[in-house]
Structure 1
Amino acid sequence: MESPPVPKIKLPTIEPFDGTIDPDDHLSAYKHQMYVQGVDDATWCKNFPATLKGVAQKWFNNLPPNSVNNFTELSILFTSHFVANRQEQKNNMHLGKVVQGPKEALRSYVKRFNLEALQIQDPNAGVAFDAFIRGLRPGSFKFNLVKKKISTLTEAAQEAEAFIHATEVCAKEKHPEAKKIEETIQPKKNLPKKAETWEVTSMPTSSKRSKITEPATSAEPIEFSKDQYSILMEIKDQYELKTPTEMKMAYRNRDKSKYFHFHKDCGQETIECKHLKRALEDLARKGKMNSY
């Protein structure tokens, strides 16, 4: 610790270490500020106590005289004494725990995944990419990654950025036709209920009223061996499905992160579409869906 006087230097402006946080984080912050000043090893040692307080300051004051010969030795003593405060070192397996929630936006999932990846030292690119794909919720974005044969995390991040941008643009710029449909549908909500229709049938002794009702369909629902989205992707070029009715939900109220491949519009996942379910059942009753 004994060395000739050195020119005045700027003391590190970092949060003082009080013995309750990760010693490696504090040491790293100290090194980053000292490197740029170009001073000798002894100066590194002399200025380090100024970044300590509380029990950490007491620990330094209790070091035996002449027990430290250089900053490397001081760093080892420091981290060894406060080793209990070290954070758990995360590895590539931790990325497998990052999973996109059922209603979580793609932007949020990508941000959480990147923050987790930054905490891993020397991450394996292949493992990271595999974890990113597995964590994605089934949908149009994940399907496009597989279809385009994306094989690296960098490419996946670029695709995610483009997809997020496209989704946000579609949410801001509503198509004129969609607006007209919405305006047409809205007034119908306030229309009164249609009055029941009755007819009078002549009877030998008296007149009796009978309510006209529409015949109820008794067709049993059909269960398929695959989900609707997978079936649609496989048969869309083989059969002509009945054109679905326009979506009744107002455009501004829809979930823009979900995409209807059957309606070709946003608002809900394809696997949840009731119109597609009915269309597939119609094909099945015609004997065209035996393989499903």
Structure 2
Amino acid sequence: MAVYCRDEALMCKVFPSSLGSMAMRWFDNLKADTINSYQELTQAFGSRFVTCRRVTRPLSSLLSLSMHEGETLKAYLDRYWEMFNDMEGNFDAMALDTFKLGLPTNHGLRTSLSGKLVTNMRQLMDHIEKYKKVEEDQQQGKGKDKVIP
């Protein structure tokens, strides 16, 4: 579209090609002759879909996250990774520490992570997956005799 930026009529015609289904329904329902320029079109679009913008979270939100009493490891993981993915920037090194610190002090995974050198996200995720699998098996009644690694 940058090539045609001086041709507003063309910009308005090309605009819908970048829309998803929900935005396209909005576009199709615009009343005729209510938009007079490309700028008005983009302003109307922005006003309508302002709530769909992804808001980045500050590092402090990750630092304050912790596992709730009675919460499963899977539920904590889901909350943690959702928040981690909403952050802009590279906080992998911080994630290694904040994830562990968010676990209860008596949690087996925290103890294990304290004793092992985990230096990257892949190692952390592999370690977590082992514990998550054991927890899921225990919840299903299959792993009552299993020892957590």
Pairwise TM-score range, normalised by the shorter structure: 0.5 to 0.7
Q: CA offset at residue 120 of structure 1?
A: 1.9
- Say which SS state the counterpart of residue 102 (structure 1) adopts: coil
Q: Tell me the residue number matched to 2:38.
A: 68
Distance, in Å, in 2 between the alignment partners of 1:83 and 1:10 is: 17
Match of 2:131 in 1: 163
Structure 2: segments with no counterpart, 5+ residues: 1-7
Please tell me whether residue 109 in structure 1 is matched to residue 76 in structure 2.
Answer: yes
Between the two structures, name the one with larger relative contact order (CA 8 Å, sep ≥ 6): 2
TM-score normalised according to structure 1 size: 0.36
Question: Does structure 2 conserve the Cα–Cα contact (< 8 Å) formed by 1:117 and 1:123?
Answer: no
98-107 or 78-87: which moved more?
Answer: 78-87
Q: Given residue 38 of structure 2, which amino acid in structure 1 is its aligned partner? A: V
Structure 1 gaps, min length 5: 17-47, 176-255, 257-264, 267-292
- Give identity over the alignment, percent: 17
Could you say which residue in structure 1 is the equivalent of 2:98?
131
- Greater percentage in helix: 2
* Aligned-partner Cα distance in 1 for 2:17–2:47: 27
Shift of residue 123, structure 1, vs aligned partner = 4.0
Instruction: Quote how far apart the aligned CAs of 1:140 are.
Output: 1.7
TM-score, length of structure 2 as denominator length = 0.63
How many residue pairs end up in the alignment? 132
* Displacement of 1:144: 0.6
Instruction: Describe the SS at the equivalent of 2:79.
Output: helix
Pair 119,144 (structure 1): closer, same or farther in 2 beyond 3 Å: same
C-alpha displacement of 1:166: 2.7
What RMSD over aligned residues (CA atoms) do the two structures have, in Å? 3.9
Amino acid in the other structure paired with 1:61: T
Structure richer in strand, relative to its length: 1
In structure 2, relative to structure 1, the CA distance for the partners of 1:174 and 1:163 (3 Å cut) is closer
* Superposed displacement of residue 97, structure 1: 2.7
Q: Which residue of 2 aligns with 1:89?
A: 56
